Amino acid sequence: MLPDSFIQELNAKNDIESVVSSYVSMKRRGRNLVGLCPFHGEKTPSFNLYPETNSFYCFGCGAGGDVITFIRRIENLSYIDAVKFLADRAGMSMPEQSFNDTTSKQRMRVLEANREAARLFHACLYSAEGRVGLEYYRSRGYTDSIIKRFGLGYAPQSFDFLRSELRKKGFHDEELVLAWLCAKNRNGNGIHDIFRNRVMIPIIDVRGNVIAFGGRVLDDSKPKYLNSGDTLVFKKTNNLFALNFAKQGKTDNLILCEGYMDVIALHQAGFTNAVAALGTSFTMEHARLLARYTDEVVLVFDADAAGQKGAQRAIGMLREIGMRVRLITVPDGKDPDEFIKRNGAERFKLLLDRAANDVEYRLMELGKKHLLNTSDGKVNYLKEATQLLASISSPLERDVYIGRLSADLGVSKTALQSQLNYQLQRQKKQQQDKQFSQVIKQSESTAQKANPDAKTHVRGASAEEGLLGMILLNPDYMTAVRPLLSADEMITAFNRNLYATLVERMDQGLSLELSHLSELYEPEEMAYITKMVRDARERVSSHTVDEAKRYVSIIRSEHHLAALNEPSSLTPEQIQEKLNAMKHMKK
């Protein structure tokens, strides 16, 4: 385990407010800070920071923990890698190895294997064997400069090209499988290359690490695109293609495309702020990732049904987290690559400059569904249009579009405003009901995932949570509690383990603060522990040793009661002993 003194210094130099604020816009509310949760989509802030305990908790999704847990979740890192991340941020050196960093070492080997694979694919592209791949890139108009910039390559039609070359560089079969570069043979003997006869596109994260690959076939075989699966260093929903370049751009927005090739074509044409999702539909995680780097996104999706459906989906997610959205409709149903080839970069720049915002786009799409020259069509259109405008948070923006609808369709602004107010009230109630339901559901879910016994022993688990939260906020109470309660008397397994951990740390003279537990517990478990602390903070006025002892009494009573509910496991003497103990506690 890492020394307590190191973790204390790490926390002191990485206060949760400064760390989280680099990812989320936070506003102070009393002693705490609130903002939109980076782990789920929401319009009303439910993500809370507690500087006093250097912790966070979201009432909407149940995420919680200390600053290390936050980095684990948002950067998709193991505990040790999250500690290293924060240590680097603070200019601290890691202590001499006194921890199990197997996962961290595996991550490093996967990154090293990916880097070597990217070099091999790129070198192969310029060999006789890779000529077919180079010709493909040339046919798309890619220059050597752009091929080098993106590290493009070619995987030959071979089952052991990569396996053989990487073995020479000291990589083991298990590491190549872990990196999703090779797969085990069906007979269980040996491994083979996953990517074969494909042009290869390395996926590079914002730190410059090769974390995955996308491969496109050069014939009619399926699948057309083969993308790396999730690994220790890669998760599709946590990364965007070319964000490592786009984040360095000088523009005030990012262009979101559908695929790799469109992004590469746009970068070659000078639009270096283009990115794309990685072999998966656009997700809320992608939206929140974009929000770290820009306030405005320009969508460039194909004109076909799938492209338009994808655009509508992305609009909803981006709007939900408060981003500005504009859309480009490429003429004649062309994709950006084709359009730039035919018309040049200047014409595409005009499309960018004239891109409609998402409200105009969605109103236009609604207009296509209704016959606006009929009364019924006009009424139905305006009902849906005001429903759309009610989802916009800016009153000024809503007023502009109400005025435009009134002028365009010859309907009084007063009538439209009345319909809009109805939709606003309706949506507000729906949002409140949804959030309340979500808070209840997530609160229950957090406990059930970490401590499933809590559902069976509601009263006992509630007392355990109250006591543990109080101890974590007031470690000195442990001196009074420990002689009265043994870990074995805790009713639920998780809380029994947590209490035993706190007792052990106290015996060793170690800190009982929340930040020293994240090495021992997974993020979901840390969320449950943080919820205990957060609830205890809300009851701070009742924090006394007597209140702690009251919790102990309930826990012991529930423990005896639980044992009596399983009489077959007790002797008659033990049953009588527990009954007498319960009578004594009631006096």
Helix axis angle, 413-450 to 523-538, nearest 10°: 110
**What pLDDT is attached to residue 312?**
84
- Residues 264 and 288 grouped into a single domain: yes
CATH code assigned at 330: 3.40.1360.10
- Residues 132 and 229 grouped into a single domain: yes
**What pLDDT is attached to residue 568?**
53
Residue-wise pLDDT for 327-370, tens only, equals 987 877 678 888 888 889 999 999 888 888 888 888 888 888 88
Contact 457, 491 (CB under 8 A): yes
Give the list of residues 6+ apart from residue 12 with CB closer than 8 angstroms, or none: none
Classify residue 398: in a domain, yes or no. Answer: yes
What are the φ/ψ torsions at residue 47 (nearest 5 degrees)?
-95, 120
- Residues 394 and 273 grouped into a single domain: no
Last residue of one domain, picked from the residues 185, 214, 234: 234
Say how far apart CA 66 and CA 56 lie, in whole Å. 6
- Residues 42 and 85 grouped into a single domain: yes
Asked if pLDDT for residue 583 goes beyond 60, the answer is no
Last residue of one domain, picked from the residues 46, 66, 90: 90
Q: Is 95 helix (H, G, I), strand (E, B) or coil?
A: coil
- Residues 471 and 565 grouped into a single domain: yes
Dihedral over Cα of 268, 272, 274, 277: its sign: positive
Classify residue 316: in a domain, yes or no. Answer: yes
Classify residue 439: in a domain, yes or no. Answer: no
Mean of all residue pLDDT scores within the chain: 87
**What pLDDT is attached to residue 569?**
52
H-type alpha helices, 101-248:
102-125, 131-139, 144-150, 161-168, 173-178, 243-246
**What pLDDT is attached to residue 455?**
85
Tokens 């502009």 -> residue: 400
pTM, 2 dp:
0.72
Say how far apart CA 71 and CA 166 lie, in whole Å. 32
- Residues 381 and 262 grouped into a single domain: no
Classify residue 436: in a domain, yes or no. Answer: no
Classify residue 363: in a domain, yes or no. Answer: no
Two tokens, residue 310: 């994808």
Q: What percent of the chain has pLDDT over 90?
A: 51
Classify residue 437: in a domain, yes or no. Answer: no
Please name the helix (run of DSSP H) or strand (run of DSSP E) that holds residue 17, with its range, or none.
Answer: helix 16-21
| Closest-CA residue to 47 (of 72, 27, 67) | 27
Classify residue 66: in a domain, yes or no. Answer: yes
- Residues 179 and 271 grouped into a single domain: no
Q: Dihedral through CA 552, CA 553, CA 559, CA 560, nearest 10?
A: 150
- Residues 126 and 82 grouped into a single domain: no
Classify residue 364: in a domain, yes or no. Answer: no
Please name the helix (run of DSSP H) or strand (run of DSSP E) that holds residue 85, with its range, or none.
Answer: helix 79-90
Two tokens, residue 472: 């974590």
Residue-wise pLDDT for 184-199, tens only, equals 998 888 999 999 999 9
Domain range for 155: 103-234
Give 443's pLDDT tier (boundaries 50, 70, 90).
Answer: low
- Residues 325 and 264 grouped into a single domain: yes
CATH code assigned at 110: 3.90.980.10
- Residues 248 and 230 grouped into a single domain: no
Say how far apart CA 113 and CA 170 lie, in whole Å. 10
State the burial class of residue 92 (Cβ atoms within 10 Å of its Cβ: 0-12, 13-18, 19+): middle
